[in-house]
Amino acid sequence: MTLRVLVPTAQFAQAIQSPGIEAIVWHINDSLADAPAADVLVTERPREFERRARVASIPGLRHVHLLSIGSDWILAHMPAGVTLSNSRGAVEDATAEHGVALILAALRELPTAAIQQRRHDWVPLWTSSVHGSVVLILGYGGVGKELFLRLEPFRPAALVPVASRARVLDNGLQIHGTAELPDLLPHADVVVVTLPHDRSTAHLVDANFLARMKDGALLVNIGRGPVVDTEALLAELSSGRLRAALDVTDPEPLSADHPLWDAPGCLITPHMAGNTAEFIRLATELTVEQLRRISQGEAPLHLVDVV
């Protein structure tokens, strides 16, 4: 029996093509035609919101494999009986690396230096740094753990991991619970959000959360846009009290006239934290393994609960 697999690029099609597997290039966001019948959909998150529902109309679909960790966008569109897996293990390093880049760029005022370069304006800047700062990491899953490891060598004053429940790891590391946030936030120079979006995290970073952050603190979001209340963040940025570095936003993509683009003290990258060549290599290897398992009747790795 041939396994028909929809993939987003010709590169993926070439990588997975093997006896018993028919690769069909179909991009959920960019392909104009409706999806042909297929057993498996391998997909990234569509840029356009209305394209998400296309998952529900693929004839014969049995499994969806996501080229990401986050699955919030697809859950409402999963047909009954179709299983779902993600690319856990392939994207955490790239996302954490981008998180470090955003933190460093914002703290060391690289956007301002870039503007000065375009003006041919030599004005040395005095900046803040990770060194000596208190960095709170909100979310201690795969990305949060990798970010923690990458920030340690910069010698922050403290790295404060926060998760849904407090606990002490076997290595002695104290993980704080979200209930402790009111006491922790006033001491943080940098707050990094790595959380997924679900009912428990939607607008967790709201006006009250932001108000507890210290003056001049930096909010970094490499998790999901809806975790942060955009209007509340805009109010803090407009006042100049807080700064932000965002790889994800709400809404997403931002319209050309959205005020977040021009908010003072805000650095934005277009949801690109995982977009590296190394991620493509790792995600391709994982996809090949997933298809091998499905074709041989085995359970795919990294299954996601779709209920």
Active-site amino acid positions: 224, 252, 271
List C-alpha distances in Å: 135 to 16, 38, 128, 220: 41, 46, 13, 10
For Cα atoms 253, 254, 255, give the angle at the middle one, nearest 5 degrees: 115
Virtual torsion, Cα 114, 119, 120, 122, nearest 10 deg: -70
Radius of gyration, CA atoms only, the chain: 21
Amino acid at 231: E
**Closest to 100 (Cα-Cα) out of 165, 34, 39, 150:** 150
CA distances from 291 to 84, 86, 97, 180, 243 (A): 13, 13, 29, 43, 44
Q: Which residue has the tokens 């959360």?
A: 209
> Cα(first)–Cα(last) distance of the chain, in Å?
29
Instruction: With CA atoms as reference, report the closest residue to 86 among 297, 300, 252, 273.
Output: 300
Crossing angle for the helix pair 92-107 and 142-151, nearest 10 degrees?
A: 50
Cβ atoms of residues 41 and 6 within 8 Å: yes
Number of helices and strands in the chain (H, E): 8, 13
